[in-house]
Amino acid sequence: MASSTVAQPELEQIQRMGSADLVIGILNPGADDLGVLPGILHQAVASMKSAARVVVLCRGLSSESQTRPEPQNGEFPAVAFLNWAAPEAANATAQALLESYQTVLTVSSKLGARACVIIASELRPPNMQLVICRLTQPLLELGFDLVSPRYDRQKTEGLLNRSIIAPLGRALYGERIQNPIGPDFGLSGRLLETILARNQNTRVSQGHAIASIASTAVCQGLQICESYLGMRVQMPTQWTDLSSLLATVLGPVFIDVEMNAPFWQRVRGSQPVPWFGNSAPVTGEPGVLDVQHMIESFHLGAQNFEEIWESVLPPTTLLELKRLARLPAEHFHVPDNLWASMVYDLALGHRLRTINRDHLLRSITPLYRGWIASYAIEMENAGPQQVEARLEQLSAVFEARKPYLVSRWRWPDRFNP
């Protein structure tokens, strides 16, 4: 099991329980909310049409708030709380948090759960019950295998997902999933067992667990839906450690692309998945991005990573990057065709191991900063609908450029830069 484990006494209690209908892993509870969390969870479970015995894994629970999973009159309580030594999000590395997913999946498997819910976003009392119910009910009451989240976001939030992960997943797998790597998910027992078996058989890193959730569901022909969860509370992006974040997140995504190549090469077009709930107006001002610093980082990367980029990017792309590096800030713009092609080239370079994979992933940082600068300049005065239309346009370009990836993937030597 992962390093972020349930303590031995709780593991023994899990073994005595034998089974559960639902496991809920809460990775990042708000410190001030732990006192009300048990009551809200009881209300959420009571609102479900199908009776469920639930085990909740949660960090920081006091002994008074825990319902020990010990039998009473021969039966276990409807909701059992287990304190979990998961890393606190503010202090944990991205890898440690990814390993937490593996722990929840493993515990769910040990209990033979019909469904598993993982909540990594920080929950707030007004939204807790809604999030729990919207991730759980489609699994237990409607027969879905994967519930993926939809969030209401400001235009500068979730840019790594919006610029690479979501459009890449949509183009390759043909399902329009807003957040294919969550971080909040609901999984059926069938899906979690498939993921655990696949990860064990292929011996991929534990961090691969989250990257493979949506793609595994698609490749297995399972039922997928989305649920609106409102605004997501998340830690601000640590721009000084962006390279590590990109390597940690994109590495497993590119591995997943490689593993699923026989499937996605046959997919044409894309389709929306059903969703539940409605979006709400986004309040507050978006965070201010230092566009000038982003452009300067791109210029510096064009000098420092030239050798790496030459090993994975075609000559025409390199010429375009040199042209961008000469543009003044007010005219800086990364075309969608160029961006989609670069993402595809980088995924192929990761597969071919042309250079060290970690070096390749870290060389994406200035390219990504350049895209953010271009997006921020273009969307400076845009409203929510304009932002969504712009991102839809980007996703459509990823789909249109997919034949380029398929050709390079099948015949890399013919298109060797």
Which residue, of 276, 309, 344, is where some domain finishes?
Answer: 276
Which residue, of 276, 303, 334, is where some domain finishes?
Answer: 276
State whether 269 and 336 are in the same domain.
no
Is residue 281 one of the residues assigned to a domain?
no
Residue 336 confidence (pLDDT): 98
Residue 329 belongs to what domain range? 291-410
Best CA proximity match to 317, nearest among 171, 172, 170, 415:
415
State whether 231 and 90 are in the same domain.
yes
**Local structure of residue 72 (DSSP, 8 states):** B
- Pairing assessment for the beta strands 79-83 and 175-176 based on DSSP bridges: unpaired
Is residue 238 one of the residues assigned to a domain?
yes
State whether 52 and 167 are in the same domain.
yes
Q: Which helix (H) or strand (E) holds 206?
A: none
Is residue 286 one of the residues assigned to a domain?
no
Residue 407 confidence (pLDDT): 95
Q: Which amino acid is at 76?
A: F
Residue 315 confidence (pLDDT): 93
State whether 27 and 63 are in the same domain.
yes
State whether 70 and 215 are in the same domain.
yes
Is residue 243 one of the residues assigned to a domain?
yes
Q: Compute CA distances 316 → 255, 311, 319, whole Å.
A: 26, 13, 5
Is residue 130 one of the residues assigned to a domain?
yes
pTM of structure: 0.89
State how far the Cα of 249 lies from the Cα of 257, in Å rounded to an integer. Answer: 13
CATH assignment of the domain containing 271: 3.90.550
State whether 269 and 309 are in the same domain.
no
Residue 204 confidence (pLDDT): 57
State how far the Cα of 55 lies from the Cα of 23, in Å rounded to an integer. Answer: 5
Best CA proximity match to 155, nearest among 399, 396, 377:
377
pLDDT digits 0-9 by tens, 361-415: 999 999 999 999 999 999 999 988 999 999 999 999 999 999 999 999 998 876 5
**Local structure of residue 282 (DSSP, 8 states):** P
Q: Which amino acid is at 68?
A: R
Range 196-200 contact pairs with CB under 8 angstroms and sequence separation of 24 or more: 196/105, 196/106, 196/109, 199/102
114, 22 in Cβ contact below 8 A?
Answer: yes
Q: pLDDT means per 10 residues in the chain (417 residues)?
A: 55 74 85 73 77 78 51 59 64 66 87 92 77 92 96 90 97 97 95 86 62 95 96 67 90 94 97 91 71 94 92 94 91 96 97 93 96 95 92 98 96 66
State whether 321 and 255 are in the same domain.
no
Within 149-241, residue ranges assigned H as helices are: 159-160, 166-173, 189-202, 208-211, 213-219
Burial 213-235 (b: 16+ CB within 10 A, else e): bbbbbbbeebbbbbbbbbbbebe
Look at the chain and report how many structural domains it folds into: 2
